[in-house]
Structure 1
Amino acid sequence: MELNQFKSTIIPLRNKLLNYAKRLTDNPDDAEDAIQEVMLKLWNMRQKLEEYHSIEAFAMTTTHHHCMDIWRRKKPDAVSLEWVQAACTASTPERLLEEKDEFRLMREIIDSLPTLQRTIIQMKDVQEYETEEIAEITGCSAESIRSNLSRARKRVREMYLQSIQERKRRNEA
């Protein structure tokens, strides 16, 4: 892909990618940084872009991954107790710690899913995208999205229940 083709194919996607990044990061500066990185990555791999079924879907996925990396770097390992207390003033310190552990466990379970399932479950259940929107972004069929979402939810449920059972066994021992 030459410069003119890159300009006509990739540059028009910039606003869409930037809007998506802003939704993911909740920070215009981080979103702008993410898009600059994504554009640089797309430029560096411009010779291989035509191999992809949908360059737009690839660009959206790349943006998603980069924004998730930014989010992971910025998020603290623990949710501050002040924040949790403000959200639920009637909770005891023990309950707050349990909620923090539950949140961390769910994040770990979702992060352990295969990339496509992780992306789909985050887009559908966290970011509340419609199935058709996810299909357009990922380049998968709506049926494939529903199937992967079902598998992802089932896997999350299984891993969560398994974790809870292991915790009960440890507490009883």
Structure 2
Amino acid sequence: MKSIFTSFLQLFVVSLLLCNVAYAQSDTNEDSHTITITIPEVALLDIEPNASKNISATFTHSDEAGDPLAAPANNTSLWLNYSSILKAGGATARAVTVSITSGTAPGVSIKVVAGTATGGQGTLGTPTAQVTLTGSAQSIITGVGSAYTGDGASQGHQLTYAFEAADANYANLRSNAGSPDVVTVAYTLADN
């Protein structure tokens, strides 16, 4: 016959086992939680170096009768920087357009081309061919996705400006040495 102590011990051991089984069933060996990530839509553009982004173009003459004006050298001092994050479910790309927003220079053609991007990461845009500036917006860089060019001179797309007093427009030229013509050129980064 079993002693009461043995019976009690067996009952105690069975109780402990049942408690451990019940405890093990209420906990698991893994758990989880969520992380909410928010990405803002971004479309920012600027011209660098910011402190000296206004340029001058001075035509010259050889002082020899019969010679045309000589155009100024191409200007390559400016860089176009941008940051772009596309909106989910929105446009698949953006473009940079350029236009003259104020002023004229009769008889003078202003042309600009953007170089291939230097620096940055992501889907950087592809430059178009050289454009002759007008009052209408024209694409100068296409296919900009979520990307950044880097900030400052020597980052992004180098801009090359060329100036021309073409024979076809030569009759429109007028001396303005006392009051030079000022043309404002604007760049815009927007969804295609």
TM-score, normalisation: structure 2: 0.22
TM-score, normalisation: structure 1: 0.24
Q: Is the radius of gyration larger for structure 1 or structure 2?
A: 2
Bigger strand share? 2
- Of structures 1 and 2, the one scoring higher in RCO (CA 8 A, sep 6+) is 2
Bigger helix share? 1
